[in-house]
Amino acid sequence: MRVLVLGCGEMGEMAVEDLYKHGDFDEIVVGTRSIEKVNRLRPKLKGKKTRISPRKIDITHSDKLDSLMKDCDVAINCTGPNYKHEVHVAKAAIKAGVNLVDINDEYESTFKMLELDSQAKKAGIILILGLGASPGINNILAKAAADQLDEVEEIHTAWVMSGADPGGLALSYHLLYSLSGKALTYKNGKFVEVQSFVDGRESLEFPKPVGVKDVYHVGHPEPITLSRSFKKARIINDKATFIPPFVNDLIRSLGKMVREADGLVRVGKADIHAMDFAASYLHKKCKSLAGVPKEGALRVAVIGKRGKKAKKVVYSTSGRLSEGTGISASIGAQMICDGKIKKKGVLPPEECVDWREFLKTILSRRVGRLSIKEEDIG
């Protein structure tokens, strides 16, 4: 078996390490712009015969990407930002006939990816859409909670991320592109436009060490895929916050600056693209945060009925979201190669991943502890 990991930033590294330690692969090919990143990872990858094969690549070069993919059994896309590369990589996987796991967390590109479903089916592959932490683990927890009920009326997903755990620079581009302006929530059969980190303020309890936090609507894909997967649900939303909360305001203000600049900004004596300047500033600001824990948290509450009783089922967990993202993608790739995911097409995790198998596996990695609560309503 041969697996390809595109990108060797923080999340790509997590995926490679998990594939090596827990997978059954002859070779792990790592496509990256920086071979040095793979070399720095090598001391952690000892004791098995699995080959680690770095390949320097610019994924915007379609012919090189096609060549890299064609001899692999499965690929994981950990490159970013998603709005630049997501659809391009997916089309390459379809052309090569290679199964793909991605960690897409942008609602706009989610719509575009779902449009590739018929092409993926024709190619005979599965493309798991958004198997990270959020979306990903959140979606699987939503499915797990929903399966405890006979009817699902509402699904509320939420996450808290530490500003001191900003990942690579690509994540800052994503935050400014997707979480600084409008977002979509789902209510009574239609999508409703809201403002990220402004609308829908709600105080929720997360597992320790995170505790109670105020969260807001954000521009994530969960309402899009979960409304498709649970068609009878009336309300589906995704809310979030950063620790400390001023990071929310920083994302909003920098994103507004980028949109209003619509091009270059003057920095000193140089003209720099507004997005490049803002992403770099956000990343450096987050990297400089001192005394801020890196743990985040996920929470899913599903409301519905069991028999005639109204019930709420809440699943929650805490840990580093970047760690949960890379490991989740790795588990998805391993499940495909082990024949545990058989569906074809472009599918979100809740439609193709067995939640029992997935949760058992990820909890064995000690990524976090899972809390489950159930209560009667009314």
Looking at 308-369, which runs of residues are DSSP E strands?
309-319, 345-347
What are φ and ψ of residue 36, in 5° steps? -60, -35
**Residue found by looking up tokens 């970013």 in the block:** 80
For residue 322, what pLDDT is reported? 85
Q: Which domain holds residue 359?
A: 2-132+322-364
pLDDT at res. 367: 77
**4 pairs with which residues across the strands?**
29, 75
Query: What is d(CA 13, CA 329) in angstroms, rounded to the nearest whole number?
Result: 11
**347 lies in some domain:** yes
In single-letter form, the type of residue at position 13 comes to: E
Instruction: Tell me the three state secondary structure of residue 186.
Output: strand
Our count of domains for the chain comes to 2
Same domain (yes/no): 42, 151: no
Asked whether residue 278 is domain-assigned, the answer is yes
Q: Do 202 and 227 belong together in one domain?
A: yes
pLDDT tens digits for the chain (378 residues)?
999 999 998 899 999 999 999 999 999 999 998 898 898 898 889 889 999 999 999 888 888 898 899 889 999 999 989 899 999 999 999 999 999 999 999 999 999 999 999 999 999 999 999 999 999 999 999 999 999 999 999 999 999 999 999 888 999 999 999 999 999 999 999 999 999 999 999 999 999 999 999 999 999 999 999 999 999 999 999 999 999 999 999 999 999 999 999 888 888 888 899 999 999 999 999 999 999 999 999 999 999 999 999 999 999 999 998 889 999 999 999 999 999 999 999 999 999 999 999 999 999 998 778 999 999 997
Residues 153 and 293 in one domain: yes
Q: Residue 245 is part of a domain; what is its CATH number?
A: 3.30.360.10
Mark whether 306 and 163 lie in a shared domain. yes
Residues 8 and 120: their CA atoms lie apart, in Å, by 26
Does 293 reside within a domain? yes
Helix or strand (DSSP H, E) at 35: helix 35-41
- Judge whether 351 lies within some domain: yes
**Residues 41, 161: one domain?**
no
CB burial of 36-68 (b: ≥16 within 10 Å; e: otherwise) equals ebbeebeeebeeeebebebeebebeeeebbeeb
> For residue 360, what is the domain's CATH number?
3.40.50.720
Pairing mode of beta strands 264-267, 270-273: antiparallel
Residues 266 and 294 in one domain: yes
What pLDDT, in 10s, does the model give residues 265-281? 888 888 899 999 999 99
16, 2, 57, 12: which is closest to 35 by C-alpha? 57
Mark whether 48 and 71 lie in a shared domain: yes
The per-residue pLDDT for 269 is 81
Which helix (H) or strand (E) segment holds residue 126: the answer is strand 126-128
Q: Number of C-alpha atoms within 13 angstroms, CB side, residue 200?
A: 28
Check residue 226 and give its pLDDT. Answer: 98
C-beta pairs of 165-169 under 8 Å, 24+ apart in sequence: 165/294, 165/296, 165/320, 165/321, 165/322, 166/282, 166/283, 166/286, 166/287, 167/9, 167/10, 167/11, 167/322, 168/9, 168/10, 168/80, 168/283, 169/279, 169/280, 169/283
In this structure, is residue 369 part of a structural domain? no
Residue 360 is predicted with a pLDDT of 96
Residue 248 and residue 166 share a domain: yes
Residue 371 lies in a domain: no
Quickly count: other Cβ atoms within 10 Å of residue 32's Cβ. Answer: 24
For the beta carbon of residue 27, count every other beta carbon within 10 angstroms: 16
- Distant-in-sequence contacts of 266-271, Cβ < 8 A, 24+ apart: none
End residue of a domain, out of 321, 355, 372: 321
Asked if residue 286 lies in contact with residue 176, where contact means CB atoms within 8 angstroms, the answer is no
pTM of the entire predicted model? 0.96
Tell whether 373 is covered by a domain.
no
Query: SS3 for 372?
Result: strand
Which pLDDT score is estimated for 369?
85
Distance CA 149, CA 16 (A): 37
Q: Is residue 376 part of a domain?
A: no
Q: Are residues 341 and 309 in the same domain?
A: no
Q: Is 210 found in the same domain as 68?
A: no
Residues 280, 166 within the same domain: yes
CB–CB of 181/259 below 8 Å? yes
Q: Which residues pair with 183 in a beta bridge?
A: 194
| Cα torsion angle, 281, 284, 289, 290, sign | negative
State whether 292 and 330 are in the same domain.
no
